[in-house]
Amino acid sequence: MPLSEHEQRMLEQIESALYAEDPKFASSVRGGRLRSTSSRRRLQAAALFAVGLFLLVAGIAAPFKPGGFPIISLVGFIAMFGAGVLLMIGNSRRSARPDATESPAAGSGPATGHPARGGRQRKSGGFSERMEDRFRRRFEQE
């Protein structure tokens, strides 16, 4: 079902507000790659973790232990550790992006000038809530 003219105008306003507030995020969402990359990375990490867990348990049960040390279990542990690192790298790339709208003094401690504990401070509403409020206000005006 096609959108009405009013709905199309509202959608264009929401898109333009999104591009104005965070153009990098908006372009990544428009490309459709944000969700597929993160879910693919999670799936790879889960598979690597499962393989590592299997190797860890199989290495203990296997009779092959050169020098009395379960090498296969060590490889399994390293695989599980790698899965955790893979997940952390994906999360740190998303959260490492600084907030462009935040002023330098807003996240600073009183005397040190370093960011306050807990990283950047979020606004109380969040992006989606602010967009919904704007949509409601515009809809009520017309």
**pLDDT tens digit at each of 142 positions of the chain:** 788 888 888 888 888 888 888 877 777 776 654 455 678 888 889 999 999 999 999 988 888 888 888 889 999 999 999 999 988 886 665 555 554 444 444 444 444 444 444 445 445 568 888 888 888 888 888 6
Measured CA to CA, the distance from residue 118 to residue 140 in angstroms comes to 38
pLDDT at residue 94, as a whole number? 56
Query: What pLDDT does 109 receive?
Result: 45
